[in-house]
């Protein structure tokens, strides 16, 4: 199996070669032949079990609130409502009454 770094590098390479971007690129990114659409680093993690998977899915859905104070059910880019429709989440997960509980979750 390939290492995460190689997989990520290839994914970024092939995607970046085919994207059309009108965004101006900084001198630093141009020197490094970066398009400006990727973060320079990534965090690698292998999902260990179903509980670990659920924690990471919760973390992803909680990010809209953590960073933008927008509940996941109101975030247009979130898959939260799809997960509700599939029965994985209660529609009231991460509501304003739950924020203290959500802040206590361990996402590590």
Quick one: CA torsion of 82, 88, 89, 91, rounded to 10 degrees? 50
Coil, helix or strand for 68? helix
**57 falls in which pLDDT band (50, 70, 90)?**
very high
Q: What is the domain partition of the chain in residue ranges?
A: 1-38, 50-103
Instruction: Look at residue 101 and tell me whether its pLDDT is greater than 60.
Output: no
Instruction: Look at residue 20 and tell me whether its pLDDT is greater than 70.
Output: no
pTM of the model: 0.58
Q: Average pLDDT, stretch 13-42? A: 70
Q: Average pLDDT, stretch 55-69? A: 88
């Amino acid at each position: 199996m390939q290492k995460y770094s190689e997989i990520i590098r290839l994914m970024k390479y092939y995607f970046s070669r085919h994207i059309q971007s009108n965004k101006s690129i900084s001198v630093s990114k141009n020197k490094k032949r970066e398009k400006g659409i990727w973060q320079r680093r990534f965090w690698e993690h292998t999902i260990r079990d179903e509980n670990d998977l659920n924690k990471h899915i919760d973390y992803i859905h909680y990010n809209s609130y953590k960073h933008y104070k927008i509940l996941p059910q109101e975030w247009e880019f979130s898959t939260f409502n799809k997960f509700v429709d599939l029965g994985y989440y209660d529609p009231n997960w991460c509501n304003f009454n739950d924020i203290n509980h959500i802040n206590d979750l361990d996402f590590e």
